[in-house]
Amino acid sequence: MVFKPNYNQQRAERDRAKQAKKEAKLREREDAALARRKAELDGTAPPQESEETSGS
């Protein structure tokens, strides 16, 4: 017997995945910013990233 789809559960799963992806991206950006700040304080050159220069 096939169960009918539970749309609310499917939507909740998609929303959780979306939020987790958003948080991971934010965490990555914060880590990169922290690394840049540390590099500035240490006097070393920050690593160059192609994403920042792409302008999109």
pLDDT tens figures, 3-36: 899 999 999 999 999 999 999 999 999 999 999 9
In terms of pLDDT, which residue wins out, 14 or 46? Answer: 14
Model pLDDT, residue 42:
86
> Which stretch of 23-27, 29-33, 38-42, 45-49 has the lowest confidence by average pLDDT?
45-49
The answer for residues whose C-beta is within 8 angstroms of residue 45's C-beta and 6 or more apart is 39
Residue with the two structure tokens 């006097």: 43
**pLDDT-derived band at 48, boundaries 50, 70, 90:** low
Distance CA 18, CA 46 (A): 30
- As given in the structure block, the two tokens for residue 8 are 């609310």
